[in-house]
Structure 1
Amino acid sequence: MSHDRRESGFKRRTRVSDARSTLLDAVSPHDRTESVSLPSADGRVVAEPIDAPAPVPSYERAAMDGYAVRAEDTFGASSRSPVVLQTAGEDETVEPGDVAAIGPGEAARVHTGSAVPEGADAVLMVEQAETVGDEIEAFDAVAVGENVGDIGEDVAAGQRLFDSGHTLRPSDLGLLKSVGIDSLPVYERPTVAVIPTGEELVQSDPGPGEVIETNGLTVSRLVERWGGEARYRDVVTDDEDALAAAIERDLDADIVVTTGGSSVGERDLLPEVVAEIGEVLVHGVALKPGHPVCLGRAGDTPVVSLPGYPVACIVNAAQFLRPAQKRVGGTTAVPFPTRRARLARKVPSEPGTRTFARVSIEDADDGLSTGESDTDATDGGDADVDLPVATPTRASGSGILSSVALADGWVVVPEPREGLEAGAAVDVQLWEVTP
């Protein structure tokens, strides 16, 4: 980066989607795996395809409380003319599921989920029968297979459950346990070194001209929330040698992230440092807030230099660090969930720049959905009535951290649009909801 560039600023800004693609092209999934127990696998990424080793259920099971019968023994039964069956076992006190087999003209009490005795091929619902001594009166006929769950009805033996790259959820863990899996291979969590920079930064008790460091803390917690392991480093001052040494120290990490010093001012040294020890891929993105992001690599390690203004730092972390971290970890970043709302007032935007407007939502009790983060989330449709109200917390000001902390999400104004009018129906991205 030359001195002239510092004086002239950014002559060209890369589109967000192009910048992201360039970064992801420089990112490769690591191949490190480990075996974890099922309770520890929530949120982890499956490292190899998983097939069911056993069927679920592994036996024919009753789908209703009632009586296991041979269907042909109930033919002709009605409320006026019940069919009389004998209780299988010694007497009517035999516990449901204790009878191993029934013969012609017999019935055995079963509960939902219990095994159907050998010889039975249907279950008569308890409401359709009555026990009289050691006999059972059937008031309805059942067909073969009625109220009986087949072997493998839920999961067949050998069925593909999850492919490599799937992020496990609590319901997935229940499914895996049901087929007898108690541990499985997953990718190791990506390691992300987070390096806050700036000679003005302190951790506490700031004096005149000093600022409390927040970006590194915020980004390191986002890394953890997104499934990685963060190395939250001490502040590095604005010195080229110190910055280079800090980055080189952490090149064994999967990604190096710096905060601050990414623009074109005299103290914005990181683009030069990255260029000296590696390669700058993108510097300057058509994004607001936060266009001075710098994306590069040093050797095989991606380096993401986030702007120092807190809001810009967070926006860029969500747009670039998150998808890069997910790819390193063997998966892809899922779209942020969205909530439909109506703008309380106009949101301005510069054509050719993607704008992220922070908003708070009132009366947002429904309408949750998922949506692509790169699409135009507005249509102004007249059909959207009784929507919650989305109020911009601040139209500008990338240094106002409270505008994010007090917001519920952000509205994305795509590049072709020149702002959004008050009353427009929009999709608010709930960027802190989904890992």
Structure 2
Amino acid sequence: MTQRLPPSLTPLDTALAALLSGLEPLSPVELPLSEAAGCIAAGTPLLAAHPHHDIAAADGWALCANDLVGASSYSPLPLPQAPAWVEAGDTMPAGCDCVLDADAVDASGPLVQVLAEGGPGQGVRRGGSDIAERTPAGAEGQPVVAADLLLARIAGLDKLGVRRPRLRIVNVPGATATMHMIAGIARAAGLDVKTCEASARDAVAIADALDTSSCDLILSVGGSGVGRGDATVTALAQRGQVIAHGLALQPGRTAAVAKIGKVPVVALPGSPDHALAAWLALVLPLVDRLSARRPRRRVILPLARKIASSVGIAEIALLAREQHAWMPLAVGEWPLQAIAGADAWLLIPDRDEGFAAGVPIDAYLMRE
């Protein structure tokens, strides 16, 4: 029997609220630094100061800057004894606060002479200058980035505390390219992603693949439309509770949302543009709740030209950054080249008719 979407589509806010209801942040786990990139920092330790004391930042002669005032090649300053030679990374000798280059000291004659002045801190890395005492190893609630990993490694850590949702993606045969796109986006967002493929497009095969035993969130890709071979919603009904099938969201109208036990499930359409829109509007809020992520950064720029939208349905616009403004690339329907060229996205609420040219728009970045 051919499936039919309900005549009244479920508002996006209603579907999302039902998915988020009762969903709590995950407990932090410790991951090796090599696996922590992109995950959301949680319970990060406070680092000790680094370097622990002043060290040489370059090879040269260790001296006290106050003792070198007036020294030059025209007026060499004799020293009572040869200064200490240090290599980069060596602890600075007591009483020394600068390092002069090798040719700034003449030790060829009977007297050692300094041929240049030095400033306090010249050629020296001060204690705590790289890492201040009690610096957190990553910003709580924010993605772990390369700079966080660098600080952790310098401080001698081999693990970091993070929240990392476990995502299971079920591919319905025929949507493989879209599944790989979503899996790549999810991995880049720091999720622990496992993929599998239903053995067939029928409800029994899809239901068998909807295994919640080792995941915090399930996505299915494909089979959520109204065609005769679209059996994902039937499979969801066999395994759990279907919250909505058919959303007032464009692209993404044929997406479905459900719960199997306490695990939220989003059935993404097989079309890349509709799947990506449902990912942005439905899945990212779930990931952020599970990760206890702080609000995502938005960039405010004026709109280069107007955006028209239909009242009664939420639409997502793709935007490109051009000359300090947001240029609309696509609204409601997305060509693949618009997806490839988009720098940001904007959710237009179902109550709005769009935005006039020149209006400041706060858009989410596609790549943070």
TM range (shorter): 0.7 to 0.9
Alpha-carbon offset, residue 220 of structure 1:
2.8
TM-score by length of 2: 0.75
SS of corresponding position for 2:308: coil
Residue aligning to 1:335: 296
One-letter amino acid matched to 1:162: G
Alpha-carbon offset, residue 290 of structure 1:
1.6
Residue aligning to 2:113: 136
| Distance (Å, rounded) in 2 between the aligned partners of 1:76 and 1:410 | 58
Q: Is the 8 A contact 1:49 1:160 kept in 2?
A: yes
| Distance (Å, rounded) in 2 between the aligned partners of 1:293 and 1:230 | 21
List aligned pairs for 1:289-308, cutoff 5 A.
289-308=251-270
1:321 pairs with 264, 267, 283, which one? 283
Q: Is the 8 A contact 2:100 2:122 kept in 1?
A: no
Alpha-carbon offset, residue 65 of structure 1:
6.4
One-letter amino acid matched to 1:215: T
Residue aligning to 2:180: 217
| Distance (Å, rounded) in 2 between the aligned partners of 1:162 and 1:360 | 30
Q: Map Cα deviations across residues 43-81 of structure 1 (whole Å, 9 max, x no partner).
A: 3455643233x5311332245765433455446767876
The verdict on how the C-alpha distance between 1:45 and 1:80 changes in structure 2, with shifts beyond 3 A counting, is same
Alignment pair present for 1:195 and 2:170: yes
Q: Is the 8 A contact 2:165 2:216 kept in 1?
A: yes
The verdict on how the C-alpha distance between 1:304 and 1:413 changes in structure 2, with shifts beyond 3 A counting, is closer
One-letter amino acid matched to 1:115: T
| Distance (Å, rounded) in 1 between the aligned partners of 2:219 and 2:118 | 70
The aligned length equals 363
Residue aligning to 2:11: 13
Q: Map Cα deviations across residues 376-432 of structure 1 (whole Å, 9 max, x no partner).
A: xxxxxxxxxx4578463x55546x5x355543345425325423456777666552x
Residue aligning to 2:154: 178
SS of corresponding position for 1:302: strand
One-letter amino acid matched to 2:19: L
Q: Is the 8 A contact 2:100 2:118 kept in 1?
A: no
Residue aligning to 1:257: 219
CA RMSD of aligned residues (A): 4.3
Residue aligning to 2:127: 151
One-letter amino acid matched to 1:350: S
Q: Is the 8 A contact 1:339 1:429 kept in 2?
A: no
The verdict on how the C-alpha distance between 1:70 and 1:45 changes in structure 2, with shifts beyond 3 A counting, is same
Residue aligning to 1:418: 353
Q: Map Cα deviations across residues 71-118 of structure 1 (whole Å, 9 max, x no partner).
A: 554467678765421442xxxxxxxxxxxxxxxxxx334466542113
Residue aligning to 2:315: 355
Residue aligning to 2:54: 60
SS of corresponding position for 1:162: coil
Q: Map Cα deviations across residues 141-170 of structure 1 (whole Å, 9 max, x no partner).
A: 766x77654433333555432366553322
TM-score by length of 1: 0.65
List aligned pairs for 1:266-415, cutoff 5 A.
270-271=232-233, 274-275=236-237, 277-328=239-290, 330-332=291-293, 335=296, 343=304, 346-358=306-318, 386-387=323-324, 390=327, 392=329, 394-397=330-333, 402-409=336-343, 411-412=345-346, 414-415=348-349
Alpha-carbon offset, residue 274 of structure 1:
3.7
Q: Radius of gyration: which is bigger?
A: 1
SS of corresponding position for 2:93: coil
| Distance (Å, rounded) in 1 between the aligned partners of 2:339 and 2:297 | 17
| Distance (Å, rounded) in 1 between the aligned partners of 2:43 and 2:202 | 44
| Distance (Å, rounded) in 1 between the aligned partners of 2:103 and 2:216 | 64
| Distance (Å, rounded) in 1 between the aligned partners of 2:69 and 2:179 | 74
The verdict on how the C-alpha distance between 1:288 and 1:396 changes in structure 2, with shifts beyond 3 A counting, is closer
1:246 pairs with 188, 198, 209, which one? 209
Q: Is the 8 A contact 1:336 1:429 kept in 2?
A: yes
The verdict on how the C-alpha distance between 1:174 and 1:236 changes in structure 2, with shifts beyond 3 A counting, is same
Q: Is the deviation greater in 229-238 or in 403-412?
A: 403-412
Q: Is the 8 A contact 1:262 1:271 kept in 2?
A: yes
Residue aligning to 2:194: 230
Alpha-carbon offset, residue 256 of structure 1:
1.6
| Distance (Å, rounded) in 2 between the aligned partners of 1:51 and 1:413 | 38
Q: Is the 8 A contact 2:55 2:90 kept in 1?
A: yes
Residue aligning to 1:373: none
Structure 1: give runs of 5+ residues left out of the alignment.
89-106, 203-211, 365-385
| Distance (Å, rounded) in 2 between the aligned partners of 1:76 and 1:403 | 66
SS of corresponding position for 1:9: coil
Alignment pair present for 1:43 and 2:3: no
Q: Is the 8 A contact 2:167 2:217 kept in 1?
A: yes
SS of corresponding position for 1:303: strand
Alignment pair present for 1:27 and 2:27: no
| Distance (Å, rounded) in 2 between the aligned partners of 1:407 and 1:132 | 63
| Distance (Å, rounded) in 1 between the aligned partners of 2:138 and 2:365 | 27
| Distance (Å, rounded) in 2 between the aligned partners of 1:231 and 1:304 | 15
| Distance (Å, rounded) in 2 between the aligned partners of 1:35 and 1:12 | 39
One-letter amino acid matched to 2:156: G
List aligned pairs for 1:76-87, cutoff 5 A.
83-87=77-81
1:123 pairs with 98, 103, 113, which one? 98
Alpha-carbon offset, residue 215 of structure 1:
3.2
| Distance (Å, rounded) in 2 between the aligned partners of 1:170 and 1:8 | 47
| Distance (Å, rounded) in 1 between the aligned partners of 2:162 and 2:170 | 24
| Distance (Å, rounded) in 2 between the aligned partners of 1:35 and 1:305 | 30
The verdict on how the C-alpha distance between 1:14 and 1:137 changes in structure 2, with shifts beyond 3 A counting, is closer
Alpha-carbon offset, residue 315 of structure 1:
0.7
